Amino acid sequence: MPITICFYEDDKYTNFYPLTLVRPAYALRAGIVPLYARAKHQFPGAGFVFCCRAQLAGAVAEQFKDYPVNIIKRTTPQVLLLNGRIRQYGDLAKLVSEARLSTRFVAQGVTVAVLFTEASLKGMPPVCTPEDFSKQVTAEGDQLPEHETSATLYSYIWEVMADIESEITSDFRAMESSFPVAKGMKIHDGAFWVNQEDVYLGNDVEVLPGAVIDASNGPVYIGDLCRVEAHAAIFGPTYIGPNSVVLAGKVSSSSIGHTCRVGGEIEQSVFHSYVNKYHDGFIGHSYVGSWVNFGAMTTNSDLKNNYASIRVSLDGQQIDTGSNKVGSFIGDHTKFGIGTLLNTGINIGVASNIFGGSLVADKEVPSFSWGTTGSYTRYEIEKAIDTARTVTMRRHHTLTDSEVELLRAIAAGTANDIGLIRF
- For 173-187, give one letter per residue: b (16+ CB within 10 A) or e: eebeeeeeeeeeeeb
Query: Quick one: pLDDT at residue 65?
Result: 87
State the Cα–Cα distance between residues 66 and 121, nearest whole angstrom: 24
Question: For the ranges 57-71, 128-142, 161-175, 197-211, which has the lowest average pLDDT?
Answer: 128-142
- Has residue 419 got a pLDDT over 90? no
Q: Of residues 134 and 390, which shows the higher confidence score?
A: 390
Instruction: Give the pLDDT confidence score for residue 306 in this predicted structure.
Output: 94
**Which DSSP letter does residue 69 get?**
B
Q: How far apart are CA 411 and CA 408, in angstroms?
A: 5
From CA 36, how far away is CA 13, in angstroms rounded? 15
Confidence at residue 51, expressed as pLDDT on a 0 to 100 scale: 93
Alpha carbon distance 266, 287 (integer Å): 11
Task: Note whether 157 and 19 are within 8 A (CB).
Answer: yes
Task: Examine the pLDDT at 124 and tell me if it is beyond 90.
Answer: no
Per-residue burial over 389-413, b = 16 or more CB atoms within 10 Å of its CB, e = otherwise: eebbeeeebebeebbbebbeebbee
Domain at 3-155, CATH from 3.40.50.620, 3.90.550.30, 3.30.420.280, 3.40.250.10: 3.90.550.30
Predicted confidence (pLDDT) per residue in 309-325, tens digit: 999 998 888 999 999 99
With a cut of 70, say whether residue 189 has pLDDT above it.
yes
Range with the lowest mean pLDDT among 89-98, 112-121, 136-145? Answer: 136-145
Residue 1, pLDDT score: 67
Position 122 scores a pLDDT of 81
**Mean pLDDT score, 97-117:** 93
According to the model, what pLDDT value does residue 416 have? 66
User: CB under 8 Å to 411, separation ≥6 — which residues?
Assistant: 351, 367, 368, 381, 384
pLDDT of residue 415: 62
pLDDT digit string (tens) for 247-266?
999 999 999 999 999 999 99
Distance (Å, whole) CA 322 – CA 245: 34
* Residue range 136-164: mean pLDDT, rounded: 90
295 HSE (CA, 13 A, CB side): 15
Q: Is the pLDDT of residue 358 over 90?
A: no
Range(s) within the chain of domains with CATH label 3.90.550.30: 3-155
Orientation angle between helical segments 401-412 and 381-394, nearest 10 degrees: 150
Chain-wide mean pLDDT for the chain?
A: 93
**In angstroms, what CA-CA distances link 358 with 304, 339, 347, 382?**
18, 7, 16, 27
Q: Which helix (H) or strand (E) holds 48?
A: strand 47-50
Statement: residue 182 has pLDDT above 80: yes
pLDDT digit string, tens, across residues 284-306: 999 999 999 999 999 999 999 99
Residue 363 reports pLDDT greater than 70: yes
Highest mean pLDDT among 111-120, 264-273, 367-376: 264-273
Averaged pLDDT, 142-156: 92
According to DSSP, the residues that pair with 103 across neighbouring strands are 115
DSSP, collapsed to helix, strand or coil, labels residue 240 as strand
Parts of the chain belonging to CATH 2.160.10.10:
159-396
Quick one: CA dihedral 119, 120, 125, 127, positive or negative?
A: negative
At 368-417, the pLDDT tens digits run 999 998 889 999 999 999 999 999 999 999 999 999 999 999 998 866 66
Write phi, then psi, for 320 (nearest 5 degrees): -80, 120
- Please state, in angstroms and as integers, the Cα–Cα distance from residue 178 to each residue in 1, 75, 167, 172, 259, following that order: 24, 28, 18, 10, 23
Superfamily of domain 159-396: Hexapeptide repeat proteins (2.160.10.10)
Please tell me the predicted confidence (pLDDT) of residue 284.
Answer: 97
Rounded-to-integer distance, Cα 303 and Cα 50, Å: 37
